[in-house]
């Protein structure tokens, strides 16, 4: 993708949109499935609640009415006795008798009874109001015998339904509203699923377009990469090796639908296979070097790091690797970790990396080398622990190219 200069952002965005649309559809289908499983219960419960149609506060009102009716007979008897005590045969009759006797004596009393008569008249008025109130209460206590039965039946029905659904009686109305909402979701679920399915289809189509665009660009770039690799392998003593980028259908994902494999055939007539299985250690090092060169291209300001890229090669092949690294360094900063004197000799600057153990602790040091130290170090790489003059001469020859 880097070699092709591909912008994968649209492809990744299309994959994310497709994944999101599929997740939304799956969630909606799961919700609808759960709701559909309880649809029969919901519809039965709503019919039952609508038929009873309980109102907020009705439970308490029915309970109070029931209690009143249950005690109505005894209460009515007491109220009737009270009304009788206030009537003509009771307080009212005696007060009117008193008023009649006093009025007959008022002329002879010379005004001494005026205040008493006025008070007695007011008392009769108040007594009349009291009688009217008691009569009203007495009428209210007259119940139809079947009314108590009907009130009890409705009260018990409300409480039984509340227990059945685990609700307070006053909450049955809002509970029914919730059940209706769930039924509405089921009834409208098919339309919602259809909309989400359409969104998934659109997202999948958009992803397919982006994936096809990327695949086409990759295939075009693969041809150029194969040709560039052929040109790079020749100077590395692998002019007969064949490098081919192969495509297969991969698992769709944010990077597209391609499974890309770098295959090689290292000898004429030999079958091609994956790079990491077919190439030997030395061949793999050169393939990786060539691939690195091709993939980085002519990008300015690059820093390339090769760790033992010369592993498994020596002699003329190591010399070829060193020359290619030096050519690569003309357009980029190249850092090479190597044990090969042939490769090291092509470097413009040298550092020696050493490890040592001090007080059970491993320390690594990196030391820049001067001109004489470069000769000495390459001679040591050639000769081993004992550096001879012949090794120094060979080191100087390598450094001089």
**Cα–Cα distance list, 254 to 16, 41, 103 (Å):** 7, 44, 113
pLDDT tens for each residue of 160-171? 999 999 999 999
In this predicted structure, the answer to whether residue 365 has a pLDDT above a threshold of 80 is yes
pLDDT tens for each residue of 246-304? 999 999 999 999 999 888 887 777 777 887 777 666 677 778 888 887 877 666 667 88
pLDDT tens for each residue of 136-161? 877 777 777 788 888 889 999 999 99
Q: What is the per-residue pLDDT for 193?
A: 87
The answer to whether the beta carbons of residues 58 and 169 sit under 8 Å apart is yes
Q: What percent of the chain has a predicted confidence (pLDDT) above 90?
A: 25
Most confident option among 218-222, 234-238, 329-333: 218-222
Q: What is the per-residue pLDDT for 298?
A: 64
Of residues 132 and 253, the one with the higher pLDDT is 253
Query: What is the rounded average pLDDT of the residues 197-214?
Result: 94
**Cα–Cα distance list, 191 to 28, 198, 344, 345 (Å):** 11, 11, 72, 74
The answer to whether the beta carbons of residues 54 and 161 sit under 8 Å apart is yes
Q: What is the per-residue pLDDT for 291?
A: 83
Q: What is the per-residue pLDDT for 312?
A: 67
Q: Please name the residues in contact with 253: beta carbons below 8 A apart, sequence gap of 6 or more.
A: 15
Query: What is the rounded average pLDDT of the residues 360-385?
Result: 87
Number of neighbours of residue 282 by Cβ within 10 angstroms: 18
Number of neighbours of residue 59 by Cβ within 10 angstroms: 19
For 319, what's the count of Cα atoms within 13 Å in the CB-facing half-sphere?
Answer: 6
Residue ranges per domain, the chain?
A: 11-19+22-190
The answer to whether the beta carbons of residues 342 and 367 sit under 8 Å apart is no
Q: What percent of the chain has a predicted confidence (pLDDT) above 70?
A: 94
In this predicted structure, the answer to whether residue 341 has a pLDDT above a threshold of 90 is no
The answer to whether the beta carbons of residues 43 and 183 sit under 8 Å apart is yes
DSSP state of 55: -
Tokens encoding 261: 């494999």
Element of type H or E holding 282: helix 281-296
Distance CA 245, CA 225 (A): 8
pLDDT tens for each residue of 116-128? 888 888 888 888 8
The pair phi, psi for residue 67, each rounded to 5°, is: -60, -40
The pair phi, psi for residue 333, each rounded to 5°, is: -90, 120
Distance CA 56, CA 144 (A): 25
Q: What is the per-residue pLDDT for 268?
A: 75
Tokens encoding 100: 């009649």
Q: What is the per-residue pLDDT for 281?
A: 66
Distance CA 378, CA 361 (A): 28
Query: What is the rounded average pLDDT of the residues 29-46?
Result: 82
Distance CA 8, CA 176 (A): 52
Computed over every residue of the chain, the mean pLDDT equals: 84
Q: Give the E-state strand segments of 216-319 in sequence order.
A: 242-253, 256-265, 273-274, 303-307
- What is the radius of gyration, based on Cα positions, of the chain? 53
pLDDT tens for each residue of 298-335? 666 678 887 777 676 677 778 888 888 887 887 778 88
Our CA angle for 132, 137, 142, nearest 5°, is: 125
The answer to whether the beta carbons of residues 127 and 91 sit under 8 Å apart is yes
Of residues 369 and 323, the one with the higher pLDDT is 369
Query: What is the rounded average pLDDT of the residues 44-69?
Result: 89
Element of type H or E holding 366: strand 361-368
Query: What is the rounded average pLDDT of the residues 51-73?
Result: 86
In this predicted structure, the answer to whether residue 386 has a pLDDT above a threshold of 70 is yes
pLDDT tens for each residue of 71-96? 776 777 777 777 677 776 667 777 77
In this predicted structure, the answer to whether residue 241 has a pLDDT above a threshold of 80 is yes
Our CA angle for 146, 150, 152, nearest 5°, is: 115
């Amino acid at each position: 993708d880097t070699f092709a200069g591909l912008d994968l952002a649209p492809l990744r965005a299309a994959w994310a949109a497709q994944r999101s649309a599929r997740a939304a559809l799956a969630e909606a289908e799961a919700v609808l499935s759960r709701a559909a499983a309880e649809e029969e219960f919901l519809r039965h419960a709503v019919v039952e609640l609508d038929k009873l149609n309980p109102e907020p506060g009705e439970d308490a009102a029915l309970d109070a009415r029931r209690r009143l009716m249950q005690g109505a007979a005894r209460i009515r008897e007491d109220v009737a006795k009270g009304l009788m005590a206030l009537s003509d045969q009771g307080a009212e009759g005696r007060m009117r008798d008193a008023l009649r006797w006093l009025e007959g004596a008022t002329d002879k009393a010379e005004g001494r009874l005026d205040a008493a008569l006025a008070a007695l008249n007011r008392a009769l008025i108040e007594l009349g109001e009291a009688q009217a109130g008691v009569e009203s209460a007495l009428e209210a206590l007259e119940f139809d015998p079947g009314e108590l039965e009907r009130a009890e039946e409705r009260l018990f029905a409300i409480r039984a339904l509340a227990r059945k659904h685990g609700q307070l009686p006053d909450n049955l109305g809002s509970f029914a509203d919730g059940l209706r909402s769930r039924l509405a979701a089921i009834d409208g679920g098919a339309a919602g699923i259809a909309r989400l399915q359409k969104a998934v289809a659109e997202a999948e189509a958009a992803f397919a377009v982006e994936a096809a665009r990327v695949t086409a660009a990759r295939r075009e770039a693969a041809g150029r990469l194969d040709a560039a690799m052929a040109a790079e392998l020749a100077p590395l003593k692998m002019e007969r090796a064949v490098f081919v980028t192969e495509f297969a259908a991969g698992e769709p994902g944010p990077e597209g639908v391609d499974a890309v494999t770098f295959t090689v055939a290292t000898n004429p007539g030999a079958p091609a296979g994956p790079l990491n299985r077919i190439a030997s250690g030395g061949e793999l090092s050169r393939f990786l070097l060539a691939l690195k060169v091709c993939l980085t291209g002519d990008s300015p300001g690059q820093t390339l790091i090769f760790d033992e890229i010369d592993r498994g090669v020596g002699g003329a092949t190591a010399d070829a690797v060193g020359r290619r690294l030096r050519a690569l360094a003309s357009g980029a900063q190249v850092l090479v970790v190597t044990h090969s004197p042939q490769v090291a000799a092509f470097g413009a600057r040298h550092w020696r990396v050493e490890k040592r153990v001090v007080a059970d602790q491993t320390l690594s040091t990196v030391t820049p080398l001067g001109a004489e130290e470069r000769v000495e170090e390459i001679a040591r790489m050639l000769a081993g622990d004992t550096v001879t003059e012949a090794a120094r001469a060979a080191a100087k020859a390598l450094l001089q190219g």
